[in-house]
Structure 1
């Protein structure tokens, strides 16, 4: 099977919405907070808790 580059999609912007669960959290001396999350599609990764991540109460 041959693949082809979709130049019409390269450079476009969008939004990814996922449900996450916080597994661990670390705060650096400068106040930066990193969180280890597991998402609803099976990925686990560290990310910075910033304005783009909203947590339920």
Structure 2
């Protein structure tokens, strides 16, 4: 898969990381893991899949 220069990723364990700091997906879905989000720790990349 080709890299998406618009989406950087440092999670090397993700199936969609090209191991050169980019994601290979066309788009990513970001979600929350709390009912009210007030910090980055309360969000998740819902596109993540283990490599």
- Report the TM-score when normalising by structure 2: 0.21
- Report the TM-score when normalising by structure 1: 0.20
Would you tell me which structure has more strand in proportion to its own residues? 1
Relative contact order, CA 8 A, sep 6+: which one is greater? 2
Q: Which has the larger radius of gyration?
A: 1
